[in-house]
Chain A
Amino acid sequence: MKHIKIFKSLTAVVALALMSSQAIAQMPDDAIMLGKKQLCTGFTFMHSQWDHYWEGTLKRENLNMGTVSTQSIMFMGVYGISDKLNVLTSVPYVWTHASAGTLHGMKGFQDLMLDLKWEAISKKLGKGKLSLFAVGGFNTPLSNYEADFQPMSIGMGSTNLSGRITADFQTGIFFATISGAYVWRSNIKIDRTSYYTTELHNTNEVEMPDVINSNLNIGIRKKNLIAEAVLMNMKTLSGFDIRRNDMPFASNQMNSTSIGAHVKYFIPWVTNLELIGGYDYVIDGKDIGLAKNRNVGKSQTFNIGVYYIFSLKK
């Protein structure tokens, strides 16, 4: 960090400004890269809530939980090892709350995320540019939080490895990104010595089904603005349904589709400061020809974040 030299010269500032479309805070599933020796850090606040959920495929409400909300503050840091290789990390602090009934909220540091993102291919295609990315991810709980108290638990408790492929095409200011990740999840150990899925298991170990996450983003990407519509899908490859009026469980088959809009804005007069905001809501996958939602909340999620970009170049 001692090498950080912000505003060292006008040249540097101009260079950053020109690169702004590249330097905007990025996620593992987008098509944005930081330049070499750039560091982007900041915080995102997230609020997510649902008052209906799918019990298996049955959409219902639960007056004994009311509205269940999850909020988090996430620190995120991205560093450009090179123009083509970035490392991303995030640390979220999460807390949950149910507006009705008696269930106690949970809070704590959730999962450390570490991703290595590689821009493998970048080439002109007609008037536009096609880029391909490969991302390797690692995810592990930062605290020994209780994963066996769904839906109040702050996370699932598994350690995950993921492999992601992303393709991005941009022409003029318009772009489209498609991305898919396979998430391998470790088994978890719970405090109970037995639990029921579709049969009784006399063990504290729970097999966590793997997950495929995919997203399609379409929008505009300009010098200091990205505005996009986002379609996200989560498909859990096995797992079981919540039984009628049972509690949810970490190894449920959780399938969900959401649509939303995300904006990333690079403030022109404070060159290194960036604001992000987003809104997503869960729709039933079957309404748009995808798999029916299962065992997830019909969430609405807002997030807002502030990021700062440092150049560590001498």
Chain B
Amino acid sequence: MKKILIPITGLSLMVILSVGCNKNISNRTDNTAALSTDNNDLGAGSWKPVFLSRADSFPVAAPDAINSTSYKADLNEIKALQQNLTKDEESKIKYWAAGGVLRWNEIMRDLMAKYNLPTVTNAAGNYPAPDANNPFAYPLFPFTNPPYAGRAYAYVSGAQYDALIACWYYKTKYNQAAPYKNDSSVDAKFINKTDLPSYPSEAAVLAGAAAEMMKLLFPGEIANIQQKATEQEQAAIASGAATRAAVVAGDALGRKVAQLYITRARGDHAGTAGGNPTIWTNFETIAMGLGETPWVSLEVPRRPPMLPLFSKVLPCLFDSATIPTFRPGPPPSTNSEEFKKDADEVYNFIKNPSRENIGIVQYWADGVGTYTPPGHWDAIAAEDFVKKNWSEVRMARNMALLNMAEMDAAIVCWDIKYFYFNPRPTQVNSSIKTLTGIPNFPSYVSGHSMFSGAASTLLSYLVPENAAKYQAMAKEAGMSRLMGGIHYRVDCEVGLQVGNKVGEYAVQRAQADGGN
């Protein structure tokens, strides 16, 4: 009998365990508390916008008075919604209550990861380029590689920031309190009450700006993005934070500001950054003319280099003429002993990698199918920012500063990469196997190092108590590329320094934009 009991007990235990253990996972920000700002930044209407010329460039009509019929009708809409809130509606209010800037950044990161897939070859063995006019056909538009992503994050964050400056301007101008302050039978549902004037709605400004901007950046996602925008606006109304009128005005304002950014984006030269075969060959010719081994794609078949003319894209924090001033001196000549030693060092890192190093490489890999290094720094920043209880306009400002720094770091980095056109370690020593995918562009300097240097410099300024942490992370992010076998040490060290310099421009802007 005992013999039978043992296995039966074992099997029963397994059944219990498999039924009892909950495998559901949750995201770190799923239960982020509703925004609770210490300071509403009522002076933000006079902060310095990025591409918006003045806070009142786009007029917003005064709201109807709180004793008007239309305002009362808006209140009735809120009351009716609040009486019949479904669980789903409640969870949407809670989701958006954590902060619209946070949530839109998360939505952006999701899209970046979704679209960050390099094209496969077609039947002829070529790599077709994504087409913005035909985003649903393979290859899907866009391919959100790190430069594309850096630029997209910057434009959405920037449009949201500029639009919120205008929003804050009109909020203080019209000074209309939130519905729950004007009518005691309107609740503040799952949100914290605030003295911040509610017209126009900041939630709707964020939704309108993001949804409009994304039409350009993610033309295949318009329906999904519009749905998110509508959810956010509906949540603002149902929570008692804003009237329909405040939402309509906010949405329109957000979209108008986004239009400025769309015009900017259409003319920023990103559309032609892919170059053409003549341009691709020219980089090789120049490098060979200098007696150097030029970079070649290590993919089979050889893939055209990633966005070789991204250096021509207009930066946000400085003018185009400044771009070449960031260029560091050249890396060791591919013919030199020093270069050989550098490649040997890479080989020694990957020959027998420790588990710790493999983990660091994966932690920072941010390669295919991920939200890219700028997205990784956005995630780090957003989760730290949330703890600061900043107003939406300050949150937007700081995300915009970060993402402009990342976009400009991409522009400067791509300038350096194609100026020197330096081969990857594996190109000169095929026994260097890599612990992550090998990026399809030249080696010097490391993009990760530049993104991380720029981000850590700005974040150290914005959240000084975390400065040591950000700097250690940036250094680790850079060195992870050496540990992974895809960069020489000099790429990482110089990249970090140049990245810091780009970050300084963002700090200078932060010091002068009125937000301090």
Contact = CB atoms under 8 A, between A and B. Distances in A.
A51 interface: no
A136 B10 CA distance: 7
Contacts of B215: none
B119 A202 contact: no
A243 B369 CA distance: 9
Interface in A209-260: 210, 243-247
Contact of B29 (A64, A102, A163, A202): A202
Given A200-B371, A206-B25, A208-B23, A136 B138 contact: no
Interface size class of B (residues with CB under 8 A): 35 or more
B17 interface: yes
A247 B433 contact: no
Contacts of B6: 85, 116, 118
Interface stretch (A122-130, A166-174, A184-192, A287-295): A184-192
B279 interface: no
Contact of B434 (A104, A148, A187): A104
Contacts of A103: 433-434, 437
Interface in B400-429: 426
Contact of A146 (B23, B26, B109, B362): B362
A63 B379 CA distance: 34
Given A190-B362, A196-B113, A243-B117, A102 B25 contact: no
Contact of A247 (B11, B114, B360, B437): B437
Interface size class of A (residues with CB under 8 A): 35 or more
A286 interface: no
Contacts of B435: 104, 149
Contact of B358 (A146, A210, A243): A146
A113 interface: no
Interface string B118-133: 1110000000000000
A203 B298 CA distance: 32
Interface of B: 3-4, 6-7, 10-11, 14-15, 17-18, 21, 23-29, 106, 109-110, 113-114, 117-120, 138, 298-301, 350, 353, 355, 358-360, 362-363, 365, 368-371, 376, 379, 426, 432-435, 437-438, 485
7 pairs of A and B residues whose beta carbons are closest in the complex: A104-B433, A200-B110, A184-B18, A63-B300, A196-B113, A118-B7, A191-B362
29 contacts: A60-B120, A63-B300, A81-B3, A82-B3, A84-B3, A85-B6, A104-B433, A104-B485, A105-B433, A118-B7, A136-B7, A144-B355, A146-B355, A146-B362, A149-B362, A190-B362, A191-B360, A191-B362, A194-B370, A194-B371, A195-B369, A196-B114, A203-B25, A203-B28, A207-B24, A210-B18, A246-B368, A246-B369, A247-B437
